[in-house]
Amino acid sequence: MHPPGNEAGDPDEDGVHLPSVEALTAGTLALMTGYAQAAADCPNRSLMARKLVSNLFFLSGHPHVSPPMRNMLANLRMRWQLAAEAAPMAGPDLQPSPLWHAAPGSVQ
């Protein structure tokens, strides 16, 4: 059984619905696993790192997390922030392909 007030549907004192700590933690751990298992040249790695930073930010400020855990999550977020900044940015691979059609010179 979950502690009272730890459900996703319970609004906080401002009336804002916060995600469950368990759901946010599970998603963060899944992202960490995906990041660790992805190849170094995976185009989504930088996006995963940035989402990890975001999740850790929200976890470190969540009202149902103890102060020592908040400090640990904030430190972890700073480490992931460095990894996110060091990772190459994901972007579309815009190398010309033989299957591409040439753009028309004018449009009717």
56 assigned to some structural domain: yes
98 assigned to some structural domain: no
pLDDT at 77: 96
User: What is the extent of the structural domain holding 37?
Assistant: 21-86
Read off the pTM.
0.67
Highest average pLDDT, of 8-12, 16-20, 39-43, comes from 39-43
pLDDT at 44: 87
DSSP 11-66: B-TTSPBPPPHHHHHHHHHHHHHHHHHS-TT-TTHHHHHHHHHHHHHHHHT-TTS-
69 assigned to some structural domain: yes
Number of domains in the chain: 1
64 assigned to some structural domain: yes
Per-residue pLDDT of 34-77, as tens digits, reads: 999 999 888 888 899 999 999 999 999 999 999 999 999 999 99
Average pLDDT of the chain is 81
